[in-house]
C-alpha cells in the first residue's frame, strides 16, 4: 500500500491540468514532509502525517484552490432556471408518457404485471432523458454566453458610457411558451427512444403496429433531430431569446425530424396500413374507411407547415436579437 | 449565524487581502513554501498552507515571483523570490497599506 501522503498528493493532482501535475506533486510532497519533520520528536510520525494532511484540507478543495476557480456545470446565473425547468418537466413528461403506455397496454390486453412494469419503466426512461438533456442544454447555455451576454448587458471589455446602457432586456419568448416547447420536444424524444415499440408487433389485429419497419428503423435519425431541437429550446428557455446559432441548430433538428417523415410519407412507407388498429377504421364490410392518400397528404402538409413556421419564426426572432 | 461565526467570516475577509502583501514582503530573499509559512507565523501572520501554496503559484504566474528547484538538500524544494515586477508591486501595495492603515486608525480612534 502506498503512503498516506502519496495517496493524498495523487488525489489532489489528478484533478489538475496534466502540465502542472508533476511540479505541484513534487512541491506538495516536499511541503508535507517538511511539516511532518517539524513535528515534536515525541509525536508519532503516522499521527503527524495524518494531521499535516488534515490541515491541508480536502483534496478537492485544495485542487480548486490551485486551479483558482471552482468548477460547476451550471452556475448561479442559470441554476434557478435549470431547477424550475427540470421540476416542471419531471412533473409532466414522465406522467404523460406513463399515461400513453397505460392506454397502449390496456388496448393490448396486457397482464396487470406487464402493464405496471411498462408504465413504470417508461416513466423512468422519460425522467432520465428529461433530466439528462435539460442539464446538457443548460450546460451549453452556460458556456456559450459570450455573444448573448454582450447583448443583454454591455461589452465587458470596452470603455463604457452610461448613455449607451441598453434598455433592460425583456424575454423575447415567454416562460410558458419556452417551457411548452421544451416539454413537447422532450415528450417526442422520449417516445422515440423508448426501448420498446409503441403498438409493437402483436399477432392480435385489434392493436397492431402503427408505423412501418422502415419508419421504425429510422427512429434514431428522428431522435437525433429531436435532441438538437430540444437543446435549442432549452437554450432559448435559458436565454429568453433566439440567437442565430440556436436557430441553425433548431433548423438542423427540424430537418432531421421532418425530413425522414416526409420522405417516408411521400413513398407511402410511413403508416403500416396492414397492421393499423383496423377495428376503429374498417367498416362492417372489412373495407378500409381510411383514405390513404388523403392521410398521407395531410401528414406531409402538416409536417411541412409546422417545420416552416418554426424555422421562419426562429430566424425572424434571431434577426431581431442581432 | 452566531456573532462568533459572523466575526470569524469578517476577520477572514479582512486578512485575506493582506496575505499577498505579507508573502511579497517576505520573499526579498528566496524561500520555499513551508519555510515561508513558518516565517509568516513567527511574524504573527497566521495563514493556512492550503491558502499560501496555491497563492505562490498564482503570483508566479502573474510574473511577480520566480521559482527555482533546489535539489542540493535531501529534499527537493521549490524556492520562490521576487521579480523586478514583484518588487514594484510590493512597493505600491506597501504604500496602499500604510494609507489604509492611517485612514482606519483615524476612523476607529474617532469611534
**From CA A32, how far away is CA A56, in angstroms rounded?**
9
Are both A237 and A314 inside the same structural domain? yes
| Residue A242: other Cβ atoms inside 10 A | 24
Can you tell me which residue has the cell 461589452?
A155
Are both A88 and A190 inside the same structural domain? yes
Check residue B77 and report its DSSP letter: E
Closest Cα in chain B, distance from residue A67 (Å): 8
Domain B3-110 CATH assignment equals 1.10.10.10: yes
Residuewise pLDDT in 10s, chain A (322 residues): 578 899 999 999 988 888 888 999 999 999 999 999 888 877 788 888 999 999 998 888 898 888 876 567 887 777 888 888 888 888 888 888 888 888 877 766 678 888 888 889 888 988 988 888 888 888 887 777 544 444 444 445 556 667 666 666 677 788 778 888 888 888 888 878 776 555 544 444 444 567 777 777 888 888 899 999 999 998 888 878 888 888 999 999 999 998 888 888 888 877 777 666 555 555 555 555 566 777 788 888 888 998 899 899 888 888 876 5
**From CA A318, how far away is CA A247, in angstroms rounded?**
7
* Domain span at A43: 4-67
Count interface pairs A-B at CB distance under 8 A: 51
Write down which residue in A24, A42, A67 finishes a domain: A67
Q: Is residue A110 part of a domain?
A: yes
Interface contact flag, B54 A27, Cβ < 8 Å:
no
- Which residues of chain A make contact with B69, given a CB cutoff of 8 A? 26
Are both A55 and A94 inside the same structural domain? no
Are both A214 and A260 inside the same structural domain? yes
- Which residues of chain B make contact with A35, given a CB cutoff of 8 A? 34, 49
Are both A33 and A176 inside the same structural domain? no
**From CA A275, how far away is CA A210, in angstroms rounded?**
7
- Which residues of chain B make contact with A62, given a CB cutoff of 8 A? 50, 54
**Which three cell numbers, joined as nine digits, stand for A259?**
425530413
Are both A104 and A240 inside the same structural domain? yes
ipTM: 0.84
Q: Domain count of chain A?
A: 2
**From CA A160, how far away is CA A149, in angstroms rounded?**
15
Are A229 and A185 in contact by the 8 Å Cβ rule? The answer is yes
Write down which residue in A15, A33, A67 finishes a domain: A67
Among residues A179, A193, A196, which one has the least CA distance to residue A225?
A193
Are both A36 and A84 inside the same structural domain? no
Are both A43 and A163 inside the same structural domain? no
- pLDDT at residue A146, rounded to an integer: 45
Amino acid at each position: 500500500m502506498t503512503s498516506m501522503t502519496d495517496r493524498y498528493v495523487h488525489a489532489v493532482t489528478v484533478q489538475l491540468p496534466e502540465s502542472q501535475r508533476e511540479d505541484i506533486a513534487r512541491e506538495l510532497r516536499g511541503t508535507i514532509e517538511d511539516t511532518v519533520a517539524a513535528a515534536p520528536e515525541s509525536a508519532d510520525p503516522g499521527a503527524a502525517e495524518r494531521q499535516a494532511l488534515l490541515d491541508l484540507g480536502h483534496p478537492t478543495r485544495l485542487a480548486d484552490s490551485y486551479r483558482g476557480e471552482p468548477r460547476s456545470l451550471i452556475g448561479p446565473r442559470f441554476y434557478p432556471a435549470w431547477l424550475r425547468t427540470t421540476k416542471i418537466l419531471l412533473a409532466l413528461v414522465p406522467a404523460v408518457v406513463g399515461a400513453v403506455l397505460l392506454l397502449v397496454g390496456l388496448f393490448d390486453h396486457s397482464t396487470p404485471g406487464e402493464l405496471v412494469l411498462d408504465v413504470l419503466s417508461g416513466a423512468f426512461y422519460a425522467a432520465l432523458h428529461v433530466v439528462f438533456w435539460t442539464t446538457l442544454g443548460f450546460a451549453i447555455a452556460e458556456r456559450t454566453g459570450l455573444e448573448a451576454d454582450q447583448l443583454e448587458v454591455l461589452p465587458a471589455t470596452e470603455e463604457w458610457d452610461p448613455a449607451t446602457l441598453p434598455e433592460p432586456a425583456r424575454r423575447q419568448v415567454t416562460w410558458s411558451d419556452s417551457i411548452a416547447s421544451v416539454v413537447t420536444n422532450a415528450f417526442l424524444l422520449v417516445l422515440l427512444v423508448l426501448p420498446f415499440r409503441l403498438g409493437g408487433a402483436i399477432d392480435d389485429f385489434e392493436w397492431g403496429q402503427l408505423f412501418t419497419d422502415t419508419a421504425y428503423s429510422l427512429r434514431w435519425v428522428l431522435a437525433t433531430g429531436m435532441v438538437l431541437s430540444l437543446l435549442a429550446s432549452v437554450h432559448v428557455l435559458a436565454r429568453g431569446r433566439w440567437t442565430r446559432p440556436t436557430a441553425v441548430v433548431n433548423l438542423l433538428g427540424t430537418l432531421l425530424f421532418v425530413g425522414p417523415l416526409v420522405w417516408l410519407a411521400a413513398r407511402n412507407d410511413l403508416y403500416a396500413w396492414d397492421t393499423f388498429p383496423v377495428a376503429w377504421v374498417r367498416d362492417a364490410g372489412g373495407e378500409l374507411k381510411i383514405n390513404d392518400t388523403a392521410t398521407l397528404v395531410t401528414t406531409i402538409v402538416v409536417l411541412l407547415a409546422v417545420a416552416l413556421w418554426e424555422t421562419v419564426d426562429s430566424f425572424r426572432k434571431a434577426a431581431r436579437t442581432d | 449565524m452566531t456573532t462568533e461565526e459572523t466575526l470569524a467570516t469578517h476577520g477572514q475577509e479582512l486578512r485575506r487581502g493582506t496575505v499577498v502583501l505579507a508573502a511579497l514582503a517576505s520573499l526579498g530573499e528566496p524561500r520555499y513554501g513551508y519555510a515561508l509559512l513558518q516565517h509568516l507565523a513567527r511574524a504573527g501572520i497566521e495563514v493556512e498552507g492550503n491558502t499560501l501554496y496555491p497563492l505562490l503559484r498564482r503570483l508566479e504566474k502573474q510574473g511577480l515571483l520566480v521559482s527555482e528547484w533546489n535539489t542540493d538538500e535531501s529534499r527537493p524544494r521549490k524556492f520562490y523570490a521576487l521579480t523586478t515586477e514583484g518588487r514594484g508591486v510590493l512597493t505600491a501595495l506597501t504604500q496602499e497599506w500604510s494609507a489604509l492603515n492611517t485612514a482606519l486608525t483615524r476612523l476607529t480612534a474617532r469611534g
